[in-house]
Structure 1
Amino acid sequence: MKECIICKQDAGMFAKKAYNGCVCKACRQYLPMHIDLKSCDADYLIRLVEQAKEKAKIFSNTSSYGTMYLDSVHSMFCFSKNEKNGEPTDLGDIFSIAELKETGIYCADIRNIGTNTNKVVCNVKVKVVTDNVATEYIAAENEPCEFTKKDKMLDVTEPKRLTMFRSLFYQMIDDTRFQILKKLQDIQKLKEMEAESVKKKTASKQDMEWARGVLFLENTECSPEEIKKQQKKLMRMFHPDIHPELGDDYAKKINNAAEILLREK
């Protein structure tokens, strides 16, 4: 019995060779389409399958075009050559919009396949670039295009269904990036509020120390009565009538200090 290097179960008759063993059909559905099994070791393949299974748990198709499926609820998309009950069954190429760095859906290989220039088709390709992947998928082959003849030339228009699907996909990208940006702004705002709170606490602490110094209070847990008593005592000692050289400034400091300490009680 050949053992699958990923799930450690019987690889079965549909097994395919990998770098140091073989991979069963069940595990291959969680591997990317473009992967070269013969150049990948077991650890790398196991990691890919684990990541794909995590994404596959939540992926749910909301719209599709050829081999491309969108999940607008979870901001994800994938490519699968097969489906069952409207859901993709090849789950190795699932991407989240958040990891997407560059993309594009476009017509390629536009060609005439009719004997009398009566049919023009194209292949619809999708470019996907992330930190780990930079590849191109074929979403649909031989898609009929609308066209008109002009001076022995063909003016070709892409399939309308493609235009609508691309609009859905790009809108999903815009919505997701807006949500990400809003989250980042909320986080930044929260950080600024926390910084302001720390600043106020620091300022408040400094004010308290200044006030205790002005009132000559060493005890940090003075009662309101003790603060008022010390305030009156100092006002009598340093009253402007007794020490005219100090003016009103010191009396104001004493009153301000008492006000700061009493406000915190």
Structure 2
Amino acid sequence: MKECVACKQDAGLLAKKTYNGYLCKTCRSYLPMRIDLKSCDTDYLLGLIEAAKAKATVFTATYSYGEMYLDSVHGMFCFSKGEKNGEPTDRGDIFSINELLETGIYCTDVKNVGTNTNRVVCDIKAKVKTEKICMEYSLVKNEPCKCKPTSNGMLDITEPEKLTMFRSIFYQMIDDARYRVLKKLEDIQRLRGKITTAEQEKEWAKGVLFLDNADCTAEEVKKQQKKLMRMLHPDVHPELGEEYAQKINKAAEILLK
């Protein structure tokens, strides 16, 4: 019997070899789709599985398009090659909106597959960049595009309507997450106004950076400063971003004295 290094059960006929053992199909569903099992030791894999299970416990798909699923209730999204009862079966590529540094959903490889009928198709892909990964996922292959001939003999091609609608929902989730961060920042600032003068500066700075522990290390302060600056960058929120960027930098300066 080949024992699964994660669940300690029989890994079965669909077992896959890892660096120092085997993994069953169920446990593999909690790992990223593109992971190289043979180069990963057991402790690393167990850490990934545990983290994925924590996210999968709360994830509920509200919208989907191809291999991408959104959970608008919890501000999460994931990628899965399989589906059962409307829910993704692969749970190793689940992300929180708050993890995002960069993202995009777009058409690639646009081609005319019907010379006489002007039938145009494209592939839909998504880019995800966090502090840990930078990956491109394939959502749909050969998705039909709208097109019509122009007077100069070319084709005027429009991206698929499903893509436009799905991307709009996804970007709205991102905007909602940023709004919640801004709202929490404002609420904390109002509450901190009641703190005594002696502690006011330090407590205000901790509130701005969302640092709850009593003694913040310089590393924690710098990491949180960098994270918030990315989320509230002036390029993303030109009307508010510059103001909050100044507050975030001021807060970090106070705590790093």
Q: Under TM normalisation by the shorter chain, which class is it?
A: 0.7 to 0.9
- 1:25 is matched by which residue type in structure 2? K
**What's the Cα RMSD here?**
1.5
Match of 1:181 in 2: 182
SS at match of 1:70: strand
Within a 5 Å distance, the mapping from 1:66-81 to structure 2 comes to: 66-81=66-81
State the 1:191 CA deviation.
2.8
- Give the CA deviation at 1:49: 0.4
Note the C-alpha offset of 1:196.
4.2
Q: TM-score w.r.t. structure 2 length?
A: 0.74
| Residue in structure 2 matched with residue 160 of structure 1 by the alignment | 161
Which stretches in structure 2 are left out of the alignment for 5+ residues? Answer: 201-257
Give the drift of 1:76. Answer: 0.5
Give the deviation of 1:24 after TM superposition.
Answer: 0.7
8 Å Cα contact 2:118-2:147 kept in structure 1: no
Q: Is the 8 A contact 2:67 2:140 kept in 1?
A: yes
- Name the SS for the 1:116 alignment partner: coil
Match of 1:113 in 2: 113
Q: What is the CA–CA distance in structure 2 between the aligned matches of 1:183 and 1:130, rounded to whole Å?
A: 22
Counterpart in the other structure of 2:205: none
State the partner residue of 1:3.
3
User: Hey, what does 2:170 align to over in structure 1?
Assistant: 169
Equivalent runs, 1:69-108 vs 2, <5 Å: 69-108=69-108
Provide the TM-score with structure 1 as the length reference.
0.72
- Counterpart CA distance in 1 for 2:169 and 2:199 is 45
1:153 is displaced (CA, Å) by 2.1
Give unmatched runs, 5+ long, in structure 1: 200-265
CA 1:157–1:195 in 2, change beyond 3 Å: closer, same or farther?
farther
CA distance in 2, matches of 1:63, 1:5: 34
1:143-165 deviation line (CA, Å, top 9, x unaligned): 00011223232221100111011
CA distance in 1, matches of 2:139, 2:72: 18
- Displacement of 1:115: 4.2
* Residue of structure 1 equivalent to 2:194: 193
Per-residue deviation, 1:114: 1.7
Secondary structure of the corresponding residue to residue 113 of structure 1 = strand
Please give the secondary structure, in 2, of the residue aligned with 1:194: coil
Runs (4+) of structure 1 exceeding 6 A deviation are none
**Alpha-carbon distance, 1:66 to partner:** 0.6
Match of 2:61 in 1: 61
Counterparts of 1:119-158 in structure 2, within 5 Å, are: 119-150=119-150, 151-158=152-159
User: Which range moved further: 46-55 or 147-156?
Assistant: 147-156
State, as a whole percentage, how many aligned pairs show the same letter. 64
SS in 2 for 1:57: helix
How far apart, in 2, do the equivalents of 1:165 and 1:188 lie? 35
